[in-house]
Homo-oligomer: A and B are copies of this chain.
Amino acid sequence: MTQTTDINRQILLASRPSGAPVAENFNLVQSEKPTPEAGEVLLRTIYLSLDPYMRGRMNDAKSYADPVALNEVMVGGSVCRVEASRHEDYKQGDWVVAFGGWQDYSVAKGDELLKLDNNMANHSHALGVLGMPGLTAYMGLLDIGQPKAGETVVVAAATGAVGSLVGQIAKLQGCKVVGIAGGQSKCRYAVETLGFDYCLDHKSDDLAQQLAKVCSSGIDVYFENVGGKVFDAVMPLLNSCARVPLCGLISQYNATELPSGPDRLSLLMGMLLTKRIKMQGFIVFDDYGHRHGEFSQQMEKWLLAGQITYKEHVVDGLENSVSAFIGLLKGENFGKLVVRVGPDELK
């Protein structure tokens, strides 16, 4: 069934996954539409963002954010329209960015929302190139990575929401950019459309050798969003004074135990020491939320000038969110994954 004016479809966390999430970890239910109280607005979800960090919220582990409770709605950023407003800054029909979760309707306090230009060409971009993934790429690369012209920047998940922007911004800084992606068609896209200098297929058996070959002067910035065997290939190539902004580790989100030994913790620390490397984790809204204005101004300029290309992978229907999310963790999406939950105008 599709979005209606009176039923609130919701996808709940039914059970916690052990390893990769499966369909049974989620539960699609129908509830009543919530009612806004004073200072709140009722929102209808138009687009839902699906992002790798959501896997972490499914665990019952202390992390930077609280886990989703069992039988609660899965969390997520969304682009919504105001259905009813009890907040003076919002009126019916307004477009906003909210943290509405995997459902048709939600309520939010007015001051938790980001107002969008109602005439914006692509409102869904507020979940990608102009939203959280864009800010992540921009701040992680420029503020922590500090790439200089002529340096070599490596980024994995090279056609993903964040990686594709990291590589393009690095090219705009005059860097040599090497992407890593899953499969030949993504690699071709990274080079031919995004303008990366090279893009390697992480499914190749000789990834480490290929990477060493194309990074003949070593690696100055590695934008880390995957971990695992990609990091293993990157580690020996890092130059003195390299910077490693750390924004995600998708390869290990489904891990149920640590890999077997030897224990390379001391190896990593020894390398950071002798090569004077900075490795720094960041959570974009906590660390850089206050710089969103500066970012969106610059990114809008680049988009208008055609200097940044952005690709979305749009899945239709809230009911398909679960399979799309499971696919995201396997790298099956091609571009920023967004679910079209409802139409712009609901009759």
Q: Are B255 and A269 in contact (CB under 8 A)?
A: no
Q: Are A260 and B258 in contact (CB under 8 A)?
A: no
Contacts of A261 in B (CB 8 A): 258-263
* A229 → chain B closest CB, angstroms: 11
A247-263 CB mask vs B (1 if < 8 Å, else 0) is: 11100100101111111
CB < 8 Å: which of B63, B274, B279, B283 contacts A279? B279
Q: Are B274 and A64 in contact (CB under 8 A)?
A: yes
Q: Are A263 and B264 in contact (CB under 8 A)?
A: yes
Which range holds the interface residue count of chain A? 35 or more
Q: Are B275 and A64 in contact (CB under 8 A)?
A: yes
Q: Is A277 an interface residue (CB 8 A)?
A: yes
Q: How far is the CA of A258 from the CA of B271 in the complex (A)?
A: 13
Q: Are B276 and A282 in contact (CB under 8 A)?
A: yes
Q: Is A76 an interface residue (CB 8 A)?
A: no
Q: Are B281 and A280 in contact (CB under 8 A)?
A: no
In the complex with contacts A64-B240, A278-B278, A280-B278, A247-B273 CB distance below 8 A: yes
Q: Are B273 and A263 in contact (CB under 8 A)?
A: no
Q: Is A304 an interface residue (CB 8 A)?
A: no
Q: Which of A224, A276, A283 has most chain B Cβ within 10 Å?
A: A276
CB < 8 Å: which of B252, B259, B270 contacts A252? B270
* A279 → chain B closest CB, angstroms: 5
Q: Is A266 an interface residue (CB 8 A)?
A: yes
Q: Are B258 and A267 in contact (CB under 8 A)?
A: yes
Q: Are B269 and A258 in contact (CB under 8 A)?
A: no
What residue in chain B is nearest A246 (Cβ atoms)? B273
Q: How far is the CA of A236 from the CA of B336 in the complex (A)?
A: 34
Q: Is A272 an interface residue (CB 8 A)?
A: yes
Q: Are A280 and B272 in contact (CB under 8 A)?
A: yes
Contacts of A275 in B (CB 8 A): 64, 281
Contacts of A19 in B (CB 8 A): none
Q: Are A228 and B266 in contact (CB under 8 A)?
A: yes
Q: Are A263 and B274 in contact (CB under 8 A)?
A: no
Q: Is A17 an interface residue (CB 8 A)?
A: no
Q: Is A56 an interface residue (CB 8 A)?
A: yes
Contacts of A249 in B (CB 8 A): 266, 269-270, 273
In the complex with contacts A246-B272, A260-B261, A274-B56, A252-B266 CB distance below 8 A: yes
Jot down 12 A-B pairs with beta carbons below 8 A, ordered by A.
A227-B269, A231-B269, A249-B269, A252-B266, A261-B263, A265-B267, A272-B279, A272-B281, A274-B281, A275-B281, A277-B281, A279-B280
Q: Tell me the A residues contacting B by CB distance below 8 Å.
A: 56, 63-64, 224, 227-228, 231, 240, 246-249, 252, 255, 257-270, 272-283, 286-287
